[in-house]
Amino acid sequence: MVDRRVLEVDGIHTYYGAIQALKGVSLEVGEGEIVTLLGSNGAGKTTTLRSINGLNHPRRGRIVFQGDDVTRTPPHDIVKRGISQSPEGRKLFPRMSVMENLEMGAFQRNDRGQISEDIDRVFSLFPRLAERKSQKAGTLSGGEQQMCAIGRALMARPKLLLLDEPSMGLAPILVEKIFGIVKEINEQGTPILLVEQNALMALEIADRGYVLETGKVALANDAAALRRDEQVRKTYLGETD
């Protein structure tokens, strides 16, 4: 049987000093999937991403990407291997232009011709960025900054894209637009691990989902089943009896 797993997180325990943030988290992302990670603030969602991208190595457990153990791999090598992230809060270079921010996403690449192709791809996904390409990133609207952050992550040509709260602080109409583009990126062939507070929107576009509670996976199922789950509906979708 062919292993279609792009990412396998196996029982990771991650700490901040003496404080244990993750207590045996396991999850998988397969080829072509959007997998969403849900949970309240402090549940461990961002720490899970930080463990995967090499910013906070787990003390126990392992992380396997495309068949290779990357548990102890430094962040710059994680990006080289093909894991790219659009972080919570966007973290753009505010005094640099949109174009310069996108070029920073391709910092470790040396295939100049293909970098130009990928800039065209980002501008086709986000036409607004093409209009703003010479503008300083710090002067963009919140929605435009989010587009730029996702575009910068795509410039690394990821084999797995990590998205941390892409809808945070955006107006509802922009949230729909961003999620539509996330789905389009996935349909173009990029697997996505999506951390998102807007559980309803996340479960609409995801194939599968995991719910984290205090550093542990409390629920794991396909997205449609999670949307029907009574606990998820009450806790994360805001529904009442």
> In this structure, what token pair is assigned to residue 224?
């449609």
Kindly state the tokens that stand for 5: 């797993």
Tell me the per-residue pLDDT of 25-81, one tens digit each, with 9 for 90 and over.
Answer: 999 999 999 999 999 888 999 999 999 999 999 999 999 999 999 999 999 999 999
Tokens 């791809």 belong to residue: 121
pLDDT tens-place string over residues 100-144: 989 888 887 777 778 888 899 999 999 999 999 999 988 988 888
Q: Which CATH class is domain 1-82+161-241?
A: alpha beta
Helix (H, G, I), strand (E, B) or coil at 63: strand
The predicted pLDDT at position 1 comes to 41
Q: Which helix (H) or strand (E) holds 28?
A: strand 19-30
- Compute, in degrees rounded to 10, the torsion defined by CA atoms 241, 221, 61, 76: -100
- The pLDDT tens digits of the residues spanning 230-239 come to 888 888 766 5
- What are the domain boundaries of the chain? 1-82+161-241, 90-157
Residue type, position 121, single letter? R
